[in-house]
Structure 1
Amino acid sequence: MTASPINLFLVDEDPVFRLGLKIWLEQRADFTVVGEASDRSATLTTLSELQAAATSSATDAGISTPSPAVDLVVIDLGLGQDQPDQVMGLELCSEIKQQFPELAVLILSAQTAPVLQAAAQQMGADGFGTRDLPVRDLARLIVQTARPAPAVAPEASSDIVLPKVLEGPIAYLNRTSIEQIDAAMTDIEQVAQEQLSYWYRLVLAGKYRELRAARWLVQRMLPVRGTSASPTQSMPPLNEMVQTSTNGSQTPFISPAALADAASRAIARQRPLVPVAVGDVRSRVCEAVFLKLQFPLDNRSDVPLEIDILRPDKTRELLYTVLRSFETLLDDLQRANILPGQLEDQFPTLLRDLWNNVTVDFFGRYYTPAADGIEQPMVVVLQQDEAIVDTAILAKIPDVTTLLAHLLFQAPIEIAGASYMATTPEALRRSQFLLENLLIQVACAVMQPVLNHYPDVENLKRSLYQRRIISTRDITRFRNELSWRYRWDELVNEPKAMFESEYRLFAMTPNGLQTHTIYAPRQTELESLSGLKYALTFALEARDAIAPRVRAAISLAGSTVVFVLTEVIGRGIGLIGRGIVKGVGNTWQDIRLRQRQQDEP
């Protein structure tokens, strides 16, 4: 008999965290989120209504023992810390246990101090965890808290011997040293986000370099089998610690790449950055991307995107929806027993299905905004542009089959000509980058037909658009920028990227969305170019061939001019000047000599 789902009630002030947690939990068949609240009064009122409704339904059905409407209440420990008139999370936990003693309560905290866990237990909490727990660990904690396993008698478990993994002294020293160094580096990166003086940033940059060197030495002197000693796996390059300003001066700081890497190390400290189990590849990649969705999602690149028009909360909601739909797609592919060789032929259809599903989930199947007298549901109108969206965006998303093969079949990934096993950190990191780019591109594909069919509908503008892009003029300017970007990409950027054997990916960083490039062989695409696109590659090749010679000729001419000016003309001017000075000196000496002779008797 299948157990009924666990009914959850979420209490957290952060609507983004609640939304993300709700989306992830509801993907599991054993969880159901029946309610949520952001403060004490809403929590107690909603719980009373849910419990009363459950009792009333059981009475009408003639059931003497009604099923609980809520099995577990998940509360943020820091609830109300910024508003003194509200009740903190621990006090709310105590009130819930007093009014609803049958409800289990799970406290989530941003910190892991033992004193906080002890305080939660004293207030009646049935479980305690941290907000940054991996999703599967949080799911396990929820199940253990809502439905604790019965105690096992000592005699029944005395014959069970659990294997114990012994850690050698070298592995212990390596692990503890790396953890301490990474913690110190993360502290520096967090401090560097504040407004600091030039000299203090200079000191921080020096400390950061010392820590990087110490980490490299530890990995070299205390190697551990199964891990890589390369210091570049978890640390940014040294030159990313220095920012070049507009006047050419260099200012030490912690760059966005370093901050993004700090977030990766924070995730890695929960589970060591070593090759993972084969079945853990998909969850590891998806959880890493889910955590990065907590970052600011402002577009910090020089490439305009369709999602730039959305409010930050709507951008995050749309990306959450894409990630959820993508995981559902992976589940469907696993149930269909699709073969690795079929991915190449199927991925265009899969991307179109993903786009359709996200469009329906985000806008609603039956939503009908009033626009130009159209009475059709919005989704029906948007889906008419499927071919346009596929050609302009979906078909150009790179390495989709590589990503699917890695997540579904744990296929190795080729990076810069080298092949990496699916469970290595390099393969996991590349797969994460590909997934981030996929989410952003699909989200842009969802918004493109909206800007084509419903650019200036008041209901959509009030509910979706940013205030700085809400007037008709601003929307028109935004659409024109997107149009020029597509033309420039098609005529210039894409042929140039093919010629340079690279793809442009969008990534999530602590400072917003950024672009970076990855190496990829694109010779077949390059050979198919014609017209202006081919002419561009020819111009690039000609520039590469001619520019060094022109620079060498200019350098030679410049050196010749400098030689003539300094060695010939300069020396000639110097000789003339010295002759004049010498003549003047001799004349002055002759005059003084004649005057002296005249003065003598």
Structure 2
Amino acid sequence: MTNNSTSGRNRVSNLIKILLIDDDSIYRLGFCTALESYPNLQVVAEVDTATAALEFLGRRTPEAVVNLVVLELLLDSSQANQLSSLQLCQQLKVQYPSLPVLLLAKQWQPRLLVRAKEAGADGYCPKGASVAILAEAMEQVASGNSYWQELSTLPSSSASYLRSPRWHIQLRHSGLGQIEQALELVEQKLQKPKLSNWDWLFWSGRRRELLAARWVVNQLLPSDILVVSPSPDNSSTAVTQNLPTLRTQSARQTTPLLPQSQSVENSPQQPQEEEGETAALVAPASRASLAPGQSVLFDATTEKLHSGVKNLSGVMLEIEILQAEKRRDLLYIVLRKFEEILDELRFSQVKLEQLPQKRSQILLDLWQISVIDFFGKYSTLSVDNSELEVVELLLGDALIIQNAILDKIPLVTELLAHLLFKTPLVIDNVPYQVETPEALARLEILLHNLVIQVANAVMQPLLNNFADLEIIKQSLYDRSLISSREIARFRNNLSWKYRQLKFLSEPQAIFESRYELLVLSDTGIKKTSIYAPRRRELEQLQGIQLAVTLAYELRDAISPRLRATVAWIGSGVVYILTQVIGKGIGLIVRGVIQGVGSSLQETRFGRNSERWK
């Protein structure tokens, strides 16, 4: 294929064979009809799903040889095992690197265009453009150039993301705060063990109403507003060139230490603002190469983050000090960063046998990028008339965090091996293949625990270094834990938790061959346990931890015999009290009663005799 500098139909001299992927049959018909007047543009196939497109390209027949893929940006992916447009684009670039892809869309969405370019798309053109502009776009992309519809060809306006006004933010926070308080009350009611069926139905309905109300508030009062205003000049800056500027401006307007998940710089990480098709389209790159069941696993985890993140585990967690919305944002950031790391591992061609050696570094990288994303890479704090780099100080505790939390997260290697290499997952000494229900259920538990523990690790250095700073408390902390006394109590409880975990709970779990894991449920964060052989760890226990296991072993050895002895003695005492002493007392009482009865009869007989005289 030759590339010419001329525009129009002569831009590409050879015939361009096009594969059209669009779920709108009417548009496909109109597209093919419109291109009949362009002899150098030929639609060789038209499909409505990503699966059909991949099947067509995989035939390797002369009819399946195409020079250009024209793809609908908002392709329907709601059906089972169907990829979204960005996932399909990514997979096409992996399997067919030299095949250009042109995206079409009805609406101009800057966030999706950024994600589309990152996914490998070569160009974009709105569906409402004229046939001549559409033909020019296809010719440019097919010739090896990029084509992104310029702002000057759209309505004369410029778009930018701005932080909401103060009254808007206050109204939003007030409404969400009231909803969260009501949700906490409902969750407490639902946690009661002896709840009648009618009460459970009532409170479950109330919970659904509150969740729906929270969703409506997030839709009607978003934290970011897209402002469209008349452009002061007629600059023809391309969309892809203008978007980084908008993102940088928004980042500068973000308040220090405000989680960047609420800024345009990290717009893909906004679960409450990206709903429906849009949320599915901005999924990270790793989704395209995950098995369908594993992709559903990440989506299900995201949905559970929407349901509730209240701590119901009975164990103190670092993230418990955060506001509910910030807690959800942090967990969402960790989940997305883990997907990005999976993608990097996949493309770096890491071998299966290298995972155990790289495990610690992978978790450390996940923690570091989560800290940077949540707090902001360039966030600073004014302390004693000096400016402190927040992230730099927090990352300085990497060794402490790694030893205290990251290295103790269980079964990370097995999780990575299953997601990356599809190795069987061993559950109760039985191997389960990829996408089996048992494997997916265990994967969900391991993924939830990993995300929650890394989120705790993100918060721990903040509590160690800046726990009582006012700007931190006002922007991040829950209102019930904002006083200095409550913060001190919270930190002391965390300290005692780790001591108890180290000397009591962990040795017991090792001795009982199980792991205590934290999972996300429909109501909040709960604790569960799974079986796992831990013989090697048991043999390495020393000091107090070993003494604890010996105490449990001694109790297990003595307890049954002691209980049997106590039961035998108790039964003997019961026999003596009931059969010997009890019968003796019964005879005595019976004699007393008989004596009293005889006396009453004699007294009555005597009175009757005197009356007849």
What does the per-residue CA deviation read over 1:119-149, in whole Å, with 9 as the maximum and x for residues that have no partner? Answer: xxxxxxxxxxx9566965x679xxxxxxxxx
Is 2:478 the counterpart of 1:466? yes
What does the per-residue CA deviation read over 1:367-418, in whole Å, with 9 as the maximum and x for residues that have no partner? Answer: 1111355534211111111000000000000110111111111111111222
Counterpart in the other structure of 1:360: 372
Counterpart in the other structure of 2:435: 423
What does the per-residue CA deviation read over 1:405-435, in whole Å, with 9 as the maximum and x for residues that have no partner? Answer: 1111111111122221111011011101111
Structure 2 gaps, min length 5: 1-99, 125-147, 149-158, 165-217, 244-271, 284-288
Counterpart in the other structure of 2:209: none
Counterpart in the other structure of 2:102: 3
Is 2:235 the counterpart of 1:57? yes
Residues 487 and 4 from structure 1, CA distance in 2 versus in 1: closer, same or farther, beyond 3 angstroms?
same
Residues 328 and 53 from structure 1, CA distance in 2 versus in 1: closer, same or farther, beyond 3 angstroms?
farther
Is 2:426 the counterpart of 1:327? no
Counterpart in the other structure of 2:556: 544
Counterpart in the other structure of 2:534: 522
* RMSD, aligned α-carbons: 4.0
Aligned to 2:380, the other structure's residue is in SS state: coil
Q: What is the identity, as a one-letter code, of the residue corresponding to 1:349?
A: Q
Mapped to 1, the partners of 2:323 and 2:509 lie a distance apart of: 31
Aligned to 2:555, the other structure's residue is in SS state: helix
Aligned to 1:493, the other structure's residue is in SS state: helix
Residues 39 and 528 from structure 1, CA distance in 2 versus in 1: closer, same or farther, beyond 3 angstroms?
closer
Is 2:358 the counterpart of 1:346? yes
Q: What is the identity, as a one-letter code, of the residue corresponding to 2:467?
A: P
Question: Match for 1:432 among 444, 457, 460?
Answer: 444
Work out the percentage of aligned pairs sharing the same amino acid.
41
Aligned to 1:463, the other structure's residue is in SS state: helix
Mapped to 2, the partners of 1:25 and 1:567 lie a distance apart of: 87
Q: What is the identity, as a one-letter code, of the residue corresponding to 1:347?
A: R
Mapped to 2, the partners of 1:297 and 1:23 lie a distance apart of: 30
Residues 436 and 548 from structure 1, CA distance in 2 versus in 1: closer, same or farther, beyond 3 angstroms?
same
Question: Match for 1:567 among 579, 583, 588?
Answer: 579
Alignment of 1:435-514 (within 5 A): 435-514=447-526
Counterpart in the other structure of 1:579: 591
Query: TM-score w.r.t. structure 2 length?
Result: 0.57
Mapped to 2, the partners of 1:600 and 1:318 lie a distance apart of: 103
Q: What is the identity, as a one-letter code, of the residue corresponding to 1:570?
A: G
Aligned to 2:349, the other structure's residue is in SS state: coil
Mapped to 2, the partners of 1:403 and 1:556 lie a distance apart of: 51
Residues 57 and 597 from structure 1, CA distance in 2 versus in 1: closer, same or farther, beyond 3 angstroms?
closer
What does the per-residue CA deviation read over 1:121-179, in whole Å, with 9 as the maximum and x for residues that have no partner? Answer: xxxxxxxxx9566965x679xxxxxxxxxxxxxxxxxxxxxxxxxxxxxxxxxxxxxxx
Is 2:408 the counterpart of 1:309? no
Alignment of 1:121-160 (within 5 A): 136=280
Mapped to 1, the partners of 2:117 and 2:304 lie a distance apart of: 20
Question: Match for 2:312 among 294, 300, 305?
Answer: 300
Q: Is the 8 A contact 1:382 1:450 kept in 2?
A: yes
Counterpart in the other structure of 2:412: 400
Mapped to 2, the partners of 1:564 and 1:26 lie a distance apart of: 88
Is 2:232 the counterpart of 1:48? no
Mapped to 1, the partners of 2:514 and 2:104 lie a distance apart of: 47
Aligned to 1:56, the other structure's residue is in SS state: coil
What does the per-residue CA deviation read over 1:173-201, in whole Å, with 9 as the maximum and x for residues that have no partner? Answer: xxxxxxxxxxxxxxxxxxxxxxxxxxxxx
Mapped to 1, the partners of 2:383 and 2:317 lie a distance apart of: 24
Q: Is the 8 A contact 2:307 2:522 kept in 1?
A: yes
Mapped to 2, the partners of 1:41 and 1:486 lie a distance apart of: 40
Aligned to 1:3, the other structure's residue is in SS state: strand
Structure 1 gaps, min length 5: 12-17, 71-109, 111-129, 141-276
How far residue 289 of structure 1 moved from its aligned partner, in angstroms, is 0.9
Q: What is the identity, as a one-letter code, of the residue corresponding to 1:532?
A: I
Mapped to 2, the partners of 1:7 and 1:386 lie a distance apart of: 47
Aligned to 1:308, the other structure's residue is in SS state: helix
How far residue 281 of structure 1 moved from its aligned partner, in angstroms, is 3.8
Residues 41 and 541 from structure 1, CA distance in 2 versus in 1: closer, same or farther, beyond 3 angstroms?
closer
What does the per-residue CA deviation read over 1:541-578, in whole Å, with 9 as the maximum and x for residues that have no partner? Answer: 11111112222222122211111111111111222233
Aligned to 1:518, the other structure's residue is in SS state: strand
What does the per-residue CA deviation read over 1:53-92, in whole Å, with 9 as the maximum and x for residues that have no partner? Answer: 497322xx7x9xx99999xxxxxxxxxxxxxxxxxxxxxx
Mapped to 2, the partners of 1:491 and 1:412 lie a distance apart of: 34
Aligned to 2:381, the other structure's residue is in SS state: coil
Q: Is the 8 A contact 1:281 1:423 kept in 2?
A: yes
How far residue 593 of structure 1 moved from its aligned partner, in angstroms, is 7.8
What does the per-residue CA deviation read over 1:452-500, in whole Å, with 9 as the maximum and x for residues that have no partner? Answer: 1111222222211112222222211111111111111111111111011
Question: Match for 1:381 among 390, 393, 396?
Answer: 393
How far residue 302 of structure 1 moved from its aligned partner, in angstroms, is 1.5
Mapped to 2, the partners of 1:336 and 1:47 lie a distance apart of: 40
How far residue 584 of structure 1 moved from its aligned partner, in angstroms, is 5.0
Q: Is the 8 A contact 1:385 1:449 kept in 2?
A: yes
Residues 339 and 5 from structure 1, CA distance in 2 versus in 1: closer, same or farther, beyond 3 angstroms?
farther
Mapped to 1, the partners of 2:114 and 2:555 lie a distance apart of: 52
How far residue 441 of structure 1 moved from its aligned partner, in angstroms, is 0.5
Counterpart in the other structure of 2:51: none
Aligned to 1:303, the other structure's residue is in SS state: coil
Mapped to 1, the partners of 2:507 and 2:610 lie a distance apart of: 92
Is 2:301 the counterpart of 1:289? yes
Runs of 4+ in 1 over 4 A off after TM superposition: 4-11, 21-43, 66-70, 130-136, 583-601
Q: Is the 8 A contact 2:406 2:457 kept in 1?
A: yes
Q: Is the 8 A contact 1:300 1:513 kept in 2?
A: yes
How far residue 22 of structure 1 moved from its aligned partner, in angstroms, is 12
